[in-house]
Amino acid sequence: MSLRLGEIHYWLYRQIKIIEEREVKLITAFKERYGEQEVGKLAKELRAEYGELKSEEPLEDLIGDEHIHPWLEGAITTAQIREAVCVKRLLEEFSNETLLRKVYYNQGRELARKVWQKNEENNLELTFRALKNNFLERMPCDQLSTILVKEEDKIVWRHDSRLHTEFWSQTDVSIKLMHQLYQIWIEGFIEAINPSINYQRQIEKEYYDDIFVLEEEE
């Protein structure tokens, strides 16, 4: 291993695992609806082609003698491309976009409830911080996201359009659907912590903004 593992590496790897856990939830939900045989075959082919899910071994054992940063960058690429292909093939085979959306929304909600400390002050900044800690962007050095506005009642989080589309576009899956699924996941996460936060995504050609506004309670 070229460098000693630091907290940022574990932090990033946890985000990668969230993507893989969502893939498992997608496969499980479609197996329950359409049967083990068909969906199991699809999952087996997917992982044979794009790599297996990471095991539960410690991160340092998984990396072994490889360099940390290229290993993590490769894991990010694999997880996101495999997720995109998984979505594409499930949609092509079963045409059930509603079930896809349900899985994304529910994972966001479940994860928020798991990571949120109930005794924390329930404000916009802390909710956003919890989201940012659990939403996979890219390697921090890529700097494809920035906080444009940070106020007590409003946060605007801008992303370079390449952030996730570079992976999803390789699979010919709808980029519009990608945005919708990620938006639904964020909605589920935010609503589970603070339903008073209004969230929307505005998409432009070169970038897109995730906008969070804390509404006044009546």
Nearest CA among 167, 124, 127, 125 for reference residue 144: 167
Residue 84 lies in a domain: yes
Interacting residues of 69 by C-beta distance below 8 A, sequence separation 6+: 3, 139
Residue 142 lies in a domain: yes
**Identity of residue 217:** E
* Residues 140-166, mean pLDDT to the nearest whole number: 92
The domain tally of the chain equals 1
Write down the pLDDT at residue 3. Answer: 58
**Identity of residue 126:** L
Q: Dump pLDDT digits (tens) for 84-135.
A: 999 999 999 999 999 999 999 999 999 999 998 765 667 899 999 999 999 9
- pTM score, whole prediction: 0.93
Interacting residues of 11 by C-beta distance below 8 A, sequence separation 6+: 133
Owner of token pair 């370079």: 160
Q: Is 207 helix (H, G, I), strand (E, B) or coil?
A: strand
User: Is 215 or 17 the better-scoring residue by pLDDT?
Assistant: 17
Give me the CATH number covering residue 179.
3.30.1380
Residue 2 lies in a domain: no
Residue 14 lies in a domain: yes
Residue 48 lies in a domain: yes
1 C-beta neighbours (distance < 10 Å), count: 12
Residue 138 lies in a domain: yes
What DSSP assignment string belongs to 90-154? HHHHH--HHHHHHHHHHHHHHHHHHH--TTS---HHHHHHHHHHHS--S-GGG--EEEEEE-SSE
99 C-beta neighbours (distance < 10 Å), count: 18
* Residues 53-66, mean pLDDT to the nearest whole number: 91
Sheet (strand 207-214) strand order: 145-150, 154-160, 207-214, 197-203
Q: Is pLDDT of 1 > 80?
A: no
Write down the pLDDT at residue 65. Answer: 85
Q: What DSSP designation does 65 have?
A: T
Residue-range definition of the domain harbouring residue 57:
7-214
Owner of token pair 């946890």: 14
